[in-house]
Amino acid sequence: MRKLYALIKKNLKLIVRSKSSAVMIVLGPLLLIILIGAAFNTASIYGIRVGVYSESYSTLSEAIIYELNQNNYLTQKVGSEQSCVEGIKNGVFHVCAIFPKNLQVSQGGQITFYVDNTKTNIVYLITETILAQISKKSQDLSFQLTKGITDTLEDIESEINDKQALVEEIKSINEQKEVTANSIGTGLEEMKLDHTISEIPLGSLEPEVTDGGKNAFKAVENKIEIILKDTSTADNKKNSLLKKVKDLSQDIESTKLSISQLQLTFNKIKKDISNVKKTGVNEIVNPIESEIKPITTEKTHLNFIFPTLLVMIIMFVSMLLTSTVEIREKTSKVYFKNFITPTSEAIFTFSNYATNIIIIALQTTILLGAASYFFYDNIAVSIKTLLIALFLMISIFLFIGIILGSIFKTEETNTITVISLGFIMIFFSSAILPIETLPSVIKGIASFNPFYISELALNQIILFQAPLKSVSNHLIRLAAYLVGAIILTAIVKRVAKRRQ
Amino acid sequence: MGIFELKGVTKRFKDSLILDNISLDIPEKSIFGILGINGSGKTTILRLLVGYYKANKGDIFYNNKKISKVKKKLKQEIGFTTQENSFYPKLTVEENIEYFGALYGLSSKTIQNNLNKILKLVELDHVRNKLSENLSGGMQRRLDMACSLIHVPKVIILDEPTEDLDPSLRKEILHLIKKIKSIGTTVIITSHRLEDIEQVCDEVAILHNKRIIRCSTIDRLKSDYSDYIRYEEIHLQTEAGNYEAIIKNISGYENHYIDNHRLIIKTEKAEKLLHEILHIIENTKQRLLFVEIQRPTLEDIFKELTKNNGKGFLKRE
């Protein structure tokens, strides 16, 4: 223990007394986080230059351009679609918007955007922001158009209301006519006109008619026959009329039905219009409203990337620091003198680890303190879990550093390796691109990446105050890595010693 | 049997043979010197002694026990000072010595006790709180030794302790080495400076061509190679290249020969003879192009000693 204490004391004194190392070790990460913090301490994107082209700018096009200008976009009209696209290639514009000739709502139209998708990290952000602006304008237009439709419907409803009384009147008149027709029909039916000559007892009268009266009788008989003939004609006409009255009656009935149907239709139209009115224009334009509610209350990018930044700093500083100390010690003139003392290699290795964990712990405390003061009020909620996670991840990277320091002989090679290794780990994580956007093979590799696991754990602990149980899966994996790193360190040290 | 004994030790690095079947016996409580030209393998022997390197062949004994069996004891009882200062420049004199004391497993009390004595011995008491990087060259070398002495080792190994030091600092260090011996510590020292070895060592081994070609007391060695250090060589060249007049008019030299248009004269009194030669050149009105006196180096002596490939020279008194 005395030996370990002496080694740690010596290491710390050497670091503190070497001004450049002290400044780099203590202030370096702070400076880094301040600079990155300043860069990411915003949720907006500024200064997006939008090239605009249209063969003929309509009022609508101008309105959209005005809208973009109002929202801090720098628009610039260019002479042709080609020069607009060239502008993106040359970096003059971030986005190029091509408006159709005389863009009109009535005619519809498609606005084409050209984006520089080589700038993977911002292209989606820019596209999304621009489309949001256009969508807003488009929504305004939809609102106006829909408003026009609902106004028209309202007029129609008013007209229907007006005409409904007329329909009622027609219906009433129709009903009266039906009654009249029915009464005519009944009257006609009651008229008996189907008399025959047999009904008149002329045969029994004829014998009693004198010869002198026979002529008169004959004349009467003839007259009766004529009357009966006329009656028969009248009966036919009555029947014909009766049929017409019945037809009329049926027509009236049919009209009545039509009027009823018309009334029903009117009522349905009124009900539909009433429903449309009740729904409201806004609901028609935006039948489903969406609101994205963040699961944290933080508002700037820094809040979200802080855990990733912290892991990044821990990773680079830990690996660089331990490997550099390891190489410096190994190549120092004192190395041999240290070697011939009765102090085991394990104590030297552990002293390197312990010294650096003190330094990294100090740096991390400062970073977390600043973070807690500025934007994470409730970091203390899961402080125990956070400390466990930090201990595991720092230890893993420190031992990786020791391994690298044991393998390499020069600081230059080591630095290049640490940077390369660091970037590989960053690439196979969500730090540059969301891991979900990467191919499944990469995702599979990333799941073994200690940086990614650390990032996941810290995100959950710092941003969502996840309890120990929730992140235990990540912590167990990190602990397994730590054990692996310690074993690997022992193996590498043994091999390196044999090579001497 | 000495404190250290090497028996038929061979050391090679990959294909390169560094030490070939060497045997040595280092007596206790003496100052034992290992002489050899740069790159002859002196440091390799020292590193084999402390177990930093493993011999490919042969055995090394410490107090009659194989060093592989007494590793811990060996480390406890040995101090080592390398060619270059091996301490932390950003620590003070006291901090450096305390640090090594702790690594040797000494208690705080023992460290403080030893520290005061060692600082007096190496005469660094007055600068104990000074950063080591701010010490003079001699002080730094003494501090390096102090770091190796804090645990009061039975043996201290000094690898080229006077290398790169000016004459006064060399004298200072040699004086310190004698003082270290006086406290009962065995000193093993390497050097390629014959004069340094002569001043402090009781016994010396000469390493050449990967082998120990001589191992004896200083007095015996001196008598053995006194013939070789007696002679110096005058190398000269004139424009005419006619050296007959010179040879005819000088005396008191061992022999002469002409090599690559230069006259080479072997003599015990080079400076006196050169004076005569310059007079002759002046009188004969010759134009002198080159003149130099070459004194025999240790390498020359080694060459002489190894003319017989070292056979018969490996002996101890």
What is the rounded CA–CA span in Å between residue A347 and residue A366? 28
Q: Which of B226, B255, B273 finishes a domain? A: B226
A·B CB contacts under 8 A = 71
Pick A342's closest partner by Cβ from B85, B105, B131.
Answer: B105
Per the CB < 8 Å rule, is A341 touching B100?
Answer: yes
Q: Vertex A180, ends A175 and A184: CA angle to 5°?
A: 145
Per the CB < 8 Å rule, is A334 touching B90?
Answer: no
Closest CA to A36 of A450, A452, A371: A371
Per the CB < 8 Å rule, is A333 touching B84?
Answer: yes
Domain count, chain A: 3
Residue B275 main-chain phi, psi, to 5 deg: -60, -45
Largest CA distance in chain B: 79
Q: Which of B188, B207, B226 finishes a domain? A: B226
Q: What is the pLDDT of residue B229?
A: 66
What is the rounded CA–CA span in Å between residue B222 and residue B118? 34
Whichever domain contains B137, its CATH number is 3.40.50.300
Q: Which residues of B touch A351 (CB under 8 A)?
A: none
Residue A22 main-chain phi, psi, to 5 deg: -60, -45
Domain count, chain B: 2
- Probe site for chain B from A336, A345, A350 (most B CB atoms < 10 A): A336
B96 to each of A49, B63, B87, how far by Cα in Å? 62, 30, 6
Does any domain span residue B193? Answer: yes
Q: What is the pLDDT of residue B45?
A: 92
Q: State mean pLDDT over A215-230.
A: 86
Residue-wise pLDDT tens digits, A84-123: 988 888 888 888 888 888 877 666 678 888 887 776 556 6
Q: Which residues of B touch A332 (CB under 8 A)?
A: 86
Q: What is the pLDDT of residue B313?
A: 40
* pLDDT level of residue B98 (50, 70, 90 thresholds): very high
Pick A334's closest partner by Cβ from B52, B86, B95.
Answer: B86
Q: For the beta carbon of residue B155, count every other beta carbon within 10 angstroms.
A: 23
Are residues B212 and B287 both part of a single domain?
no
Residue-wise pLDDT tens digits, A15-63: 888 777 777 766 776 777 677 666 666 555 566 788 899 988 888 788 8
Closest CA to A5 of A496, A405, A358: A358
Provide the shortest C-alpha distance from residue A13 to chain B (in Å): 7
What is the rounded CA–CA span in Å between residue A131 and residue A138? 10
Provide the shortest C-alpha distance from residue B50 to chain A (in Å): 7
Q: B211-217 and B232-238 as β-strands: parallel, antiparallel, unpaired?
A: unpaired
Are residues A427 and A309 both part of a single domain?
yes
Are residues A278 and A361 both part of a single domain?
no
CB contacts under 8 A, B 228-287 vs A, are: none
Question: Which residues of A lie inside 8 Å of B (Cβ-Cβ)?
Answer: 2-3, 5-7, 9-10, 13-14, 17-18, 332-343, 500
Are residues B30 and B83 both part of a single domain?
yes
Does any domain span residue B305? Answer: no
Question: In chain B, whose CA is at the least distance from the CA of A500?
Answer: B53
Are residues B116 and B245 both part of a single domain?
no
Pick B82's closest partner by Cβ from A6, A333, A343.
Answer: A333
pTM value is: 0.65
The continuous run of DSSP H or E covering A493 comes out as: helix A468-499
Are residues B158 and B254 both part of a single domain?
no
Are residues B214 and B241 both part of a single domain?
no
The pLDDT of residue B290 is above 60: yes
In which domain, by residue range, is B289 found?
232-295
Question: In chain B, whose CA is at the least distance from the CA of A342?
Answer: B75
Does any domain span residue B301? Answer: no
* pLDDT level of residue B222 (50, 70, 90 thresholds): low
In sequence order, which residues have a C-beta less than 8 Å from that of residue A228 and are 6 or more positions away? A195, A196, A197
In sequence order, which residues have a C-beta less than 8 Å from that of residue B249 and are 6 or more positions away? B276, B280
Are residues A475 and A337 both part of a single domain?
yes
Q: What is the pLDDT of residue A123?
A: 64
Residue-wise pLDDT tens digits, B227-265: 666 778 899 999 888 888 899 888 888 889 998 889 999
Does any domain span residue A19? Answer: no
Which residues on neighbouring strands pair with residue B66, listed in sequence order?
B61
Pick A336's closest partner by Cβ from B52, B99, B105.
Answer: B52
What is the rounded CA–CA span in Å between residue A220 and residue A209? 12
The pLDDT of residue A147 is above 70: yes
Q: A71 with A50: CB under 8 angstroms?
A: no
What is the rounded CA–CA span in Å between residue A339 and residue A354? 19
Per the CB < 8 Å rule, is B75 touching A14?
Answer: no
Per-residue HEC secondary structure of chain B comes to: CCCEEEEEEEEEECCEEEEEEEEEEECCCCEEEEEECCCCCHHHHHHHHCCCCCCCEEEEEECCEEHHHCHHHHHHHEEEECCCCCCCCCCEHHHHHHHHHHHCCCCHHHHHHHHHHHHHHCCCHHHCCCEHHHCCHHHHHHHHHHHHHCCCCCEEEEECCCCCCCHHHHHHHHHHHHHHHHCCCEEEEEECCHHHHHHHCCEEEEEECCEEEEEEEHHHHHHHHHHHHHCEEEEEEECCCCCHHHHHHCCCCCEEEEECCEEEEEECCHHHHHHHHHHHHHHCCCCEEEEEEECCCHHHHHHHHHHHCCCCCCCCC
Torsion, Cα of A248, A254, A259, A261 (10° steps): 180
What is the rounded CA–CA span in Å between residue A401 and residue A328? 13
Are residues A227 and A173 both part of a single domain?
yes
Are residues B286 and B240 both part of a single domain?
yes
Residue-wise pLDDT tens digits, A421-441: 998 888 888 777 777 777 788
Does any domain span residue B317? Answer: no
* Residue predicted with more confidence, B286 or A375: B286
* Residue predicted with more confidence, A281 or A76: A76
Are residues B208 and B246 both part of a single domain?
no
Are residues A434 and A458 both part of a single domain?
yes
Residue B185 main-chain phi, psi, to 5 deg: -95, 135
Q: Which residues of B touch A2 (CB under 8 A)?
A: 102, 105, 107-108
Per the CB < 8 Å rule, is A337 touching B75?
Answer: no
* pLDDT level of residue B312 (50, 70, 90 thresholds): very low
The pLDDT of residue A394 is above 90: yes
Are residues A109 and A250 both part of a single domain?
no
What is the rounded CA–CA span in Å between residue B87 and residue B76? 18
Does any domain span residue A294? Answer: no
Provide the shortest C-alpha distance from residue A337 to chain B (in Å): 7
Q: Which residues of B touch A338 (CB under 8 A)?
A: 103
In sequence order, which residues have a C-beta less than 8 Å from that of residue A101 and are 6 or more positions away? A54, A55, A56
Are residues B71 and B181 both part of a single domain?
yes
B105 touches chain A (CB under 8 A): yes
Residue-wise pLDDT tens digits, A452-493: 889 888 888 888 778 888 888 889 999 999 999 999 999 998
Residue B310: exposure state from Cβ atoms within 10 A (0-12, 13-18, ≥19): middle
B80 touches chain A (CB under 8 A): yes
Two tokens at A46? 């500024």
In sequence order, which residues have a C-beta less than 8 Å from that of residue A130 and are 6 or more positions away? A48, A50, A68, A73, A95, A97, A113
Does any domain span residue A77? Answer: yes
Does any domain span residue A18? Answer: no
Provide the shortest C-alpha distance from residue B72 to chain A (in Å): 6
- Probe site for chain B from A10, A19, A341 (most B CB atoms < 10 A): A341
What's the whole-number average pLDDT of chain A? 82
- Probe site for chain B from A333, A335, A345, A350 (most B CB atoms < 10 A): A333
Q: A459 with A434: CB under 8 angstroms?
A: no
First-to-last C-alpha distance (Å) of chain A: 27
Question: In chain A, whose CA is at the least distance from the CA of B102?
Answer: A3
Are residues B14 and B152 both part of a single domain?
yes
Are residues B59 and B184 both part of a single domain?
yes
Are residues B246 and B129 both part of a single domain?
no
Are residues A140 and A158 both part of a single domain?
no
What is the rounded CA–CA span in Å between residue B263 and residue A227? 190
Q: Which residues of B touch A341 (CB under 8 A)?
A: 75, 100, 103-104
Does any domain span residue A14? Answer: no
Report the share of chain A in percent with pLDDT over 70: 88
B52 touches chain A (CB under 8 A): yes
Two tokens at A24? 């780099």
Q: B210 with B202: CB under 8 angstroms?
A: no
Q: What is the pLDDT of residue A37?
A: 67
Q: Which residues of B touch A7 (CB under 8 A)?
A: 102-103
Q: What is the pLDDT of residue A116?
A: 76
Q: What is the pLDDT of residue A483?
A: 95
What is the rounded CA–CA span in Å between residue A355 and residue A322? 9
Pick A342's closest partner by Cβ from B52, B76, B82.
Answer: B76
Q: Which of A119, A144, A169 finishes a domain? A: A144
Per the CB < 8 Å rule, is B86 touching A2?
Answer: no
A5 to each of A62, A117, B86, how far by Cα in Å? 74, 55, 20
Closest CA to A87 of A128, A116, A56, A129: A116
Are residues B170 and B246 both part of a single domain?
no
Whichever domain contains B275, its CATH number is 3.30.70
Does any domain span residue A122? Answer: yes
Does any domain span residue A324? Answer: yes
Q: State mean pLDDT over A328-341.
A: 86
Q: Which of B181, B198, B226 finishes a domain? A: B226
The pLDDT of residue A126 is above 60: yes
Per the CB < 8 Å rule, is A337 touching B78?
Answer: no
Whichever domain contains A95, its CATH number is 3.40.1710.10
Does any domain span residue B166? Answer: yes
Are residues A181 and A69 both part of a single domain?
no
Q: State mean pLDDT over B290-302.
A: 70
Strand order from edge to edge, sheet including B288-294: B255-259, B262-267, B232-238, B288-294
B62 touches chain A (CB under 8 A): no
Q: A64 with A402: CB under 8 angstroms?
A: no
The pLDDT of residue A396 is above 90: yes
Are residues A391 and A251 both part of a single domain?
no
What is the rounded CA–CA span in Å between residue B189 and residue B80? 10
Residue A166: exposure state from Cβ atoms within 10 A (0-12, 13-18, ≥19): exposed
Q: What is the pLDDT of residue A27?
A: 73
Does any domain span residue B302? Answer: no
Q: Which residues of A touch B53 (CB under 8 A)?
A: 500
Per the CB < 8 Å rule, is A341 touching B86?
Answer: no
Q: What is the pLDDT of residue B306?
A: 58
Q: State mean pLDDT over A161-190.
A: 87
Does any domain span residue B287? Answer: yes
Are residues A453 and A369 both part of a single domain?
yes
Are residues A276 and A306 both part of a single domain?
no
What is the rounded CA–CA span in Å between residue A438 and residue A434? 7
* pLDDT level of residue B315 (50, 70, 90 thresholds): very low
In sequence order, which residues have a C-beta less than 8 Å from that of residue A209 and are 6 or more positions away? A216, A217
The upper half-sphere exposure of residue B196, i.e. CA atoms within 13 Å in the direction of its Cβ, equals 31
Which residues on neighbouring strands pair with residue B155, listed in sequence order?
B78, B186
Does any domain span residue B306? Answer: no
Are residues A165 and A267 both part of a single domain?
yes
In which domain, by residue range, is A204 found?
154-285
Q: Vertex A251, ends A249 and A257: CA angle to 5°?
A: 105
